[in-house]
Amino acid sequence: MKDSTGGQTRIQRTKIATISDAALDVFSANGFRGSTVDEIARAANLSKPNLLYYFPSKEAIHTHLLTALMDTWLDPLRQIDPEGDPLEEVLTYVRRKLAMSRDMPRESRLFANEIIQGAPWMSASLERDLKPLVDEKAAVIAHWMQNGRLKPADPHHLIFSIWSLTQHYADFDVQVRAVLGPEVRDPFPEAEAYLLTLFRRLLRI
């Protein structure tokens, strides 16, 4: 009955996935404190005690989601290649981050909720995982700029601006659509064109 994948049964794997998906819906829409276990259970079509059979507590579900997310979230940044073409590496990073906003808006909002509310669960991970990675990639970018392959600009704030601009289209989706009006079905093509223009003009020698 046990399974090779981390000592989990087939049912456990599917139910945990179902619960995670439902919890992502609820947490990303209401934040941790604004979400209830009943609501997650309802979204997962499970009774509350049944849900708490798979996760020991509401906080455990939340932590599970955040730790799983952190890796996915940093992946595009890790892929920046010091040996690649500087401008193209940055623009590819922008494209990847914007694609994540388009394809994983719930994850983006879960992350945003956590940070806005002071990162009570993730602040340790920010120092331990995020800071070193950003420092490393910022050094790569700074090196490119010193070699005259990119126009100079503060590398850390460059990375901040990429995060900010791309995640905006997921986190503030309601506002973007309200301003653009209903005739704009999909803001992302326009957004990508604008952002690529922006970073080309900022960085291109």
List the interface residues with DNA, window 48-87 (CB under 7 A): 48-50, 52-53, 56-59
What's the DSSP call for residue 84?
Answer: S
Q: What residues contact 173, with CB distance under 8 A and at least 6 apart?
A: 105
**Distance of alpha carbon 23 from alpha carbon 128, whole angstroms:** 26
**Cβ proximity to a second copy, 16 vs 130, nearer residue:** 130
Cα diameter, the chain:
61
Least CB distance to a second copy at residue 35 (A): 8
Among residues 53, 46, 50, 56, the alpha carbon closest in space to that of 21 is found at: 46
Residue 109 touches DNA, criterion: CB under 7 A: no
Residue 21 touches DNA, criterion: CB under 7 A: no
**Cβ proximity to DNA, 2 vs 185, nearer residue:** 2
Residue 46 touches DNA, criterion: CB under 7 A: yes
Q: Is 167 exposed, middle or buried (0-12, 13-18, 19+ CB in 10 A)?
A: buried
Residues that bind a second copy (CB under 8 A): 29-35, 109, 112-113, 115-119, 123, 126-127, 130-131, 134-135, 151, 153-154, 156-161, 163-165, 168, 171-172, 174-176, 178-181, 190-191, 193-195, 197-198, 201-202
**Distance of alpha carbon 141 from alpha carbon 190, whole angstroms:** 27
Binding site for DNA (CB under 7 A): 1-2, 9-12, 15, 35-39, 46-50, 52-53, 56-59
